[in-house]
A and B are shown apart, each in its own frame.
Chain A
Amino acid sequence: MANQKTVLAAEARAKAGKGAARAIRRTGNVPAVIYGDNKEPVLISLSEKELTLAMRKKGFYTHLIDLSVDKDQHLVIARDVQVHPVSDRPEHVDFLRVSDKTVISVDVPVRVINEKSCPGLVKGGVLNVVHHEISVYCKATDIPEEFTVDLDGLDVGDNVHVSQLNLPAGVETVQTGDFTVITLVAPSALKSEEDAAAAAEGAEGEAAEGAEGEKAEAAEGEEEAKK
């Protein structure tokens, strides 16, 4: 369970809206909001540099954050970060205020281990991660750090489903059913070799037909030239 907490400092901001938000961004800060837990939302701004450093660390979306706004303390979790499409700089952050009882849905990352001892990958298979993250319902204070998928003994064509992950107690997936998390697929090189073999067999039969077709096309071309 993710017991690590990130510490961030912020300042309250007075105005909402496009103009005020842009003015804050010009000063090197990022506008943000804290909402949830049946309390009034609080408009804040925080340092872009500190926020970027926190975002680069693993688990920014799954670790609780101790956010100090002037003199108040808020226990929050980052729900959404709007980033610039080209520069990837953060433009706005949504923080959800949580308590010990809060149950939230959160995307927990999937980590793959034992890649070297996986026979499928050694053969040249490709690891296809269907879900890089799994959405789960859990207590805000008991968010799993990550889900580990062990590739040991898996061959090409094998799948790992969510039921094989051993979710901790109190954690259930948002998506119902036993969905696939990862698959081991044959690489395009292997597939194309099979296709080439199949095509070669087919081509032998079509060779005679193809030759006739080429003759017909050549004849049409000659006729057009005469005209």
Chain B
Amino acid sequence: MMSPKKMKYRKAHKGRIHGLATSGNYLAYGSYGMKALQPERITARQIEAARRAITRHIKRQGRLWIRMFPDVPVSTKPLEVRMGSGKGAPEYYVCRVKPGRIIFELDGVPRQIAEEAFTLASAKLPIKTRFVSRD
């Protein structure tokens, strides 16, 4: 799973996702891409599940780019612990995704395979997505 190599601060605020993607909103590498249509925090686990779905469908041909990185730590409190006594321990990492963001790019496979792969991957993500291409 993707996670930062080092962090400046161990814990982060929850934050809110406002507005549309102003960067990373066009195809930069591949011929096909998956565009996020909703704002959401996507976990490293979800990214990995989507990546596996794509890689397995394209039978490890072609080339895949992941255009998001889970760099926001999310903390949780242990079970059966009362509220208070400070913030919990970092548990997992998420990526804040804004609508319009290209989250995956793919190249080196036929269009139909790319569409099918992104449909499978989209089922692993908590957001609606759209297939985009250079054509």
Contacts and interface: CB of A to CB of B under 8 A. Distances in A.
Nearest to B37: A86
A151 to B, nearest CB: 13
A122 B47 CA distance: 31
A27 to B, nearest CB: 23
Contacts of A187: 60-62, 108
A124 B61 contact: yes
Is chain B's binding surface mostly helix, strand, loop or mixed? Answer: loop
A85 B21 contact: yes
* Chain A interface bracket (under 10, 10 to 19, 20 to 34, 35 or more): 10 to 19
Nearest to A88: B132
A189 B107 CA distance: 15
B54 to A, nearest CB: 11
B105 to A, nearest CB: 12
Contact of B61 (A84, A126, A132): A126
Contacts of A88: 132
B37 to A, nearest CB: 6
A128 interface: yes
Contact of B108 (A85, A127, A192): A127
Nearest to B63: A126
A126 B62 contact: yes
B108 A128 contact: yes
B70 interface: no
30 contacts: A84-B100, A85-B20, A85-B21, A85-B22, A85-B99, A86-B20, A86-B35, A86-B37, A86-B99, A86-B100, A88-B132, A126-B61, A126-B62, A126-B107, A126-B108, A128-B63, A128-B107, A129-B31, A129-B107, A132-B31, A132-B134, A185-B63, A187-B60, A187-B61, A187-B62, A187-B108, A188-B55, A188-B63, A189-B60, A192-B60
Interface of B: 20-22, 25, 31, 35, 37, 55, 59-63, 99-100, 107-108, 132, 134
